[in-house]
A and B are shown apart, each in its own frame.
Chain A
Amino acid sequence: MKIISATCGLLITFLPCLAGFGQQQGKIEGVVRNEQGIAVAGATVKAQPEGVVLSSAVPQIETDAGGRFEMDHLPSGTYKIFAMKESAGYPDTSFAFYSNQRFPKLVLRSDAQPAEIVLRIGPPGGIMTGIVSDAVTGRPVAASFILRRVSDSRLWISMAQRSDYRVLLPPDVEVAVEVSADGYSAWHYGDSVDRMHRRPIRLRPGEEKKLNVSLQPSATKAGN
């Protein structure tokens, strides 16, 4: 098994000590493969400890050129394992919106051999890009995107985006898209005014959709 050098330029390693988690330490190693079984280099693998509240970096590492990864010194316990590579269309599946509650778990025991897993990611999501601007002035506007699965509105995600945005959508899933910014009325895909005419957007794996968004300045509130 190849041991990833700690000085590797592409390495990201966050291996926290988990208070209240097992004090014994173990190791997870494996490979990330896409929907075609091809190893994915440069993917980020996160091992999110279960039953532990977080206010810090979770253990994470980047895969090497062969798609392999190795996380050492992990306290024993149960981990949710996620892999992502947003630049290639593979979103952060630590969010339920993307994982649809399907993700691997791993129980790490210190007395066992290193846990060897194969993480499958993909198919890639759809990619929505475009420009958010002021409908009156045309000025670029940084905005917040809220995406919601139509089939289960409890699965949502909210993210800050620059004016020239890039948002990943789970593939072949109908998603309601809302764009908002301070001082502007919220924009909904389909029709921002008539709720009945709002439509979801659905993209195929890897499909890229360009969509410019014009935000209407909200009416000034009357003073008290």
Chain B
Amino acid sequence: MSFLCLLSRVLLSLIAMVNIGLAWSGANCQSTPPPGSHPPVPNKIFPGPSPLPPIQQQQFISYWTSETGWMSELQLRNNGPQDLTVTPVLRLSDGTETPLSAITIKSEEAASVDLDQAISASGVPNLVGAYGSAVLRYTSPTQATLYAAMMVSKPGHPIMFHIDATGDDESRQGGGREGIWWLPNKNADGYLVETNLGPNPIPLVLSVYDPSGRESRQMHSILGHQTLRFSIRSLVSAAGFTGSYGGIKVAAVAHAGSLDTVHFLYDEGAGFSALMKMFDYDPQATLTARDYARTGSWTVRAPMLALSVPDPALAFPSGTELEPLLMIRNTTAKTITATLRFTWRSATATGKAAGGSLQLAPFQTQEVDVAALQKAGTIPLDANWALVTLTTNSLPDEVVAVAASYDSTLRYGAQTPFSDQLTFRWEGGMWQYDAFHDSIIAAGNGGTRPIRARFTIFYDQGTKRYDLEQPLLPDEEMWIDVGQLIQQQSPDKNGRTLPLNLTTGSYEIADLSHKGAGTVFEGKVIYDKTYGHVAYGCAACCGYALTTTLWYDPLGIPDGSGAYQGVQVPDMCQGGALADVSDSFYGNWSVQNTGIATADYYGTHTGVSVGSTTSSTSGYINSNDSHIHCPLVHKTPSGDDNTSPQITSISPTTAMIGSNSKQITINGAGFGTSPTVNLPTGFTKSAQTASDTQIQITVNIGFTAIIGNNSISVTANGLPSNSVSFQVDGPYHLVVVSDVTGPCSGCVTTVQRTVEYQVQDFNPSTVGQWTLGESIAFNGWNCQQTESHATNNCSSNPSTTGASGLFFDTWSINSDAYTPTGCGFNTTDHWQWCGHSPNPTLGTLTGYVHTDHISINGTVSPSQMTPGTVVPF
């Protein structure tokens, strides 16, 4: 490694340690792949088995209600490869728990639970007309195996909210939740819901701000597992604020990781509802962990902002005009600059537009009128949708934003949530398509380089899939109208179409260009034509465990040749199955002792000389935190390397057992001058000469050698080479030549059966003359007379076959004197080769000998074994 390279690595490490944001360019010592090199092709199978044990897991959903006029539907999706059994547990607002019936979900299947029905089945009256939070308990190696969300709606009204599941982080103390309040008319109201996911009471400070940043605060506590609800209008009114929007914050000095909040608005009269997404504020969050696009700036995106002229697919009444707006808030006491840009799409075109910069004073909330930008020509008037990208000079979550697009009556509209999250894969929940519903899903590239993205629909309980792939430029989105795909029978990349009667399923979005740290984001809206409402939903980001390991540790590198090395890590969405994330570590490989091995851009190691060293690499991957977010983490996996002697050829590759003074030539590299040749059992060395590239050894192959394929390797400098096969030939098994039955001479009713066998060698093209014996077991004698029988074993009476290995074996009672007719005995006869120690069995004959019938290995006389039949061992 060059000094500059080393220096840049040290600097990078220091930067990571002090949490200073920095563009990633320059972090890569081998910034471009060397000509002719290529990525490692693992001779490992991915996904590999999970190294993580199944344990009890929990996720939480912070709000459900069964109050009059409301309905709650729990949606679940199993991201993992095996069936998943989930027990939903409802907590009342005071934290009292009631488990519901468990539900088993197949791999990639999405399922839903109607809470009204489930509560009715539970027989617990306290759950009727109540609200609270929910816990989902299941056993899995990873928490992210399950995707879950609660859909809370008011049937008969265009009011619906999507509430994602989250996790409890009892280790995080300080922090809170940041959001924006909005009262767009005089009647709209809603709730700020606070839920304590954990068991510890949390003292809280609840602040509301007017647009200028003026604060009104109140203090209260929330007990373990408790849910509290506050009227937004009451909070604003109590603060004395008169505007229509401002900031809201719930702060905790302890157990902040157990706090979750939900904030939603509705106005039954106007037919209006909005979900005001709130954001975790973690004072320990670093830009390094959240700068997913590696631009050096913290960026959030809203992927599906409905513009003034709504997409006809949303089925709003003709002439509906939306008033898209953004509310952007500075959560800090410092001034922050935020820059907007739009990537719009109309029915016929796409384009980009700069949205200008905002100077956000401390705690200030500003509104951006996107409709005005359209009227001013910044964004075309006929554009239907826009991806909104907000770039700041702040740390993560110091700026929060909400997007909303409603008509002037608030009756028709849609929302899209802001998020900074980019990752390599998203596991989506349920989509719907029928006469009253459709789903539009967007997948975009938030990175700075082109990628290839894949969108997958799973259906028929997750057993079938439909895949679309598309290259995406930075900021570009692939736009999927699921109903259109079904209706138009559009073929996927494999030529498959979706069934015309398909109404629901789940989905997945993947970055095919980056396996370790991806740059895709996603958005989904489901519109309901019944009440004219559009609700958004989110997928769950996928991340990895923190336990990155190398494919091979130690890595065996043949001297003078290459060996692929890569990085693997448990995929938390896939139940901890090992995934290949090598691409995140390209360009950062280094080897401690380059006199022993070197590593290229891709991690392919080349053996320089025989010996041991270590190598390491570094890179960023999406992890999975306890809130099921996917921050970037920097990992530096390392492992041992052994450059070993390599055998490239051996000659000859076969010899007959009992051969003496057999000369074997071994060619290769790294043998040194005094290598040890590791010979198979029964081989004895009588002479050896060696150079670094060739060994000549003379051996005797004794009768204790193992007939069949053996291995020969070389050890030099304490390191073993690869093994090569060496075949020892010799008698191996018995083959039937002929099988004859008939009365024995001197007999009238008693038959004898004479089978001629041939001893075949391991290499069937050779034959020989061999000394044989039998290990015979008799039992079940049931004739009236006493018996005498013959034995023929290696220790006392070894016998010799003909030159071609042929011999006869006769079974018979051998006299009519034995009665009653049909009597006889059972026998097992192991034919053994007496010339080997220990005597190997060449074939085993099992059966019975009766006066009138003889059975050998299941063939009962007068039927015969077919010539050529190989006798089992």
Chain A interface (Cβ < 8 Å from any Cβ of B)? 6, 9-21, 44, 46, 48-58, 60, 62, 73, 80, 82, 92-99, 101, 103, 142, 144, 146, 154-162
Contact = CB atoms under 8 A, between A and B. Distances in A.
Given A13-B799, A48-B814, A56-B774, A96 B746 contact: yes
Interface in B776-831: 776, 778, 786-793, 796-797, 799-803, 806-815, 817-818, 824-825, 827, 829
Given A11-B769, A55-B849, A101-B746, 6 more contacts: A16-B791, A17-B791, A19-B789, A51-B814, A56-B790, A56-B809
A14 B740 CA distance: 19
B778 A15 contact: no
Interface in B712-740: 738-740
Interface stretch (B211-219, B452-460, B593-601, B748-756): B748-756
A19 B745 contact: no
Interface of B: 738-749, 752, 754, 769, 774, 776, 778, 786-793, 796-797, 799-803, 806-815, 817-818, 824-825, 827, 829, 849, 861-867
B799 A20 contact: no
A93 B802 CA distance: 20
Contact of B797 (A9, A17, A21, A80): A17
Contacts of A158: 740-742, 861-862, 864
25 contacts: A14-B799, A15-B799, A17-B790, A17-B793, A17-B797, A19-B788, A20-B788, A21-B788, A46-B808, A48-B744, A54-B752, A54-B812, A56-B829, A62-B802, A73-B797, A80-B745, A80-B746, A142-B867, A144-B862, A156-B742, A158-B864, A160-B738, A160-B864, A161-B867, A162-B867
Contacts, number: 185
A142 B507 CA distance: 59
Sorted from nearest, which 4 A-B pairs have the closest CB atoms? Answer: A20-B788, A157-B742, A160-B864, A158-B862
Given A14-B792, A18-B788, A54-B814, A159 B738 contact: yes
B745 A12 contact: no
Nearest to A142: B866
Nearest to B795: A17
Contacts of B827: 55
B554 to A, nearest CB: 53
A20 B745 CA distance: 22
A9 to B, nearest CB: 4
A32 B825 CA distance: 35
B802 A95 contact: no
A12 B802 contact: yes
Nearest to A148: B742
Given A57-B807, A142-B867, A96 B790 contact: no
A19 B740 contact: no
Contact of B801 (A12, A99, A142, A157): A12
A58 B778 CA distance: 17
Contacts of B738: 159-160
Nearest to A75: B790
Contacts of A57: 774, 792, 799, 807-810
Given A17-B792, A19-B789, A54-B849, A156 B740 contact: no
A167 B108 CA distance: 67
Contacts of A60: 807-808
A161 B824 CA distance: 28
A117 to B, nearest CB: 16
Contacts of B796: 17
A211 B745 CA distance: 28
Contacts of B799: 13-16, 57
Contacts of A97: 742-743
Contact of B788 (A53, A58, A101): A53
Nearest to B778: A55
Contact of A94 (B744, B790, B791, B824): B744
B791 A53 contact: no
B801 A96 contact: no
B308 to A, nearest CB: 73
B745 A99 contact: yes
Contact of A56 (B739, B776, B788, B818): B776
Contacts of B788: 18-21, 51-53
B746 A144 contact: no
Contact of A52 (B776, B789, B793): B789
A205 to B, nearest CB: 20
B743 A155 contact: yes
A96 B747 CA distance: 7
A158 to B, nearest CB: 4
Contact of A49 (B740, B787, B790, B866): B790
Contact of B789 (A55, A92, A159): A55
B814 A159 contact: no
A159 B740 contact: yes
Contact of A160 (B742, B748, B867): B867
A52 B754 contact: no
B787 A94 contact: no
Given A96-B743, A158-B741, A12 B800 contact: yes
A16 B792 contact: yes
Contacts of B803: 9-10
B739 to A, nearest CB: 5
A156 B790 CA distance: 26
Nearest to A10: B803
A107 B590 CA distance: 88
B867 A14 contact: no
B802 A54 contact: no
Contact of A51 (B752, B801, B815, B865): B815
A144 B800 contact: no
**Which interface residue of B742, B776, B796 has the most chain A CB atoms within 10 A?**
B742
Contacts of B817: 51
Contacts of A52: 788-790, 814
A54 B800 contact: no
